[in-house]
Amino acid sequence: AQSVTQLGSHVSVSEGALVLLRCNYSSSVPPYLFWYVQYPNQGLQLLLKYTSAATLVKGINGFEAEFKKSETSFHLTKPSAHMSDAAEYFCAVSSPPVFGKGTRLSVIA
């Protein structure tokens, strides 16, 4: 079965600091990997997806993620956090997506 593990249920960064949200996956086949963002009481918005093309995937709002097969990782990064980035972030694997537990990102002014 395919699954993802998100390390850290809550991450707090200062505005302007680097954002790093960690995701490790388990998959017996080449995975499809996704990062989604969820704002309170809303659905999910796709940030980016990996589908076996380039290993460095650029998404919306300045986010990007790098697929590292040797580490079975797909960490999400953003060079400079904005207050508006505060939300819940979900890593997902497979098709249809199987979600991790989520990481809540707080941005401190």
Partner 1 sequence: GAVVSQHPSRVICKSGTSVKIECRSLDFQATTMFWYRQFPKQSLMLMATSNEGSKATYEQGVEKDKFLINHASLTLSTLTVTSAHPEDSSFYICSATGGGDYGYTFGSGTRLTVV
Residue 81 or 91 with smaller CB distance to partner 1: 91
Q: Which lies closer to partner 1 via its Cβ, residue 65 or residue 97?
A: 97
Angle at 74 between CA 59 and CA 83, to 5 degrees: 50
The Cβ of residue 75 has, within 10 Å, a number of other Cβ atoms equal to 19
Between 41 and 84, name the residue whose CB sits nearer to partner 1: 41
Query: Under the criterion CB under 8 A, does residue 26 sit at the interface with partner 1?
Result: no
The minimum distance between CB 2 and partner 1, in angstroms, equals 12
Find all residues with CB under 8 Å of 96, minimum gap 6, and list them.
none
Residue 99 sits in the site that holds partner 1 (CB under 8 A) = yes
Q: Does the footprint of partner 1 cover residue 3 (CB under 8 A)?
A: no
What are the Cα distances from residue 66, in Å, to 42, 43, 78, 79, 92? 26, 24, 12, 14, 14
Contacts with partner 1, residue ranges (CB under 8 A): 32, 34, 36, 41-46, 49, 51, 90, 95-102
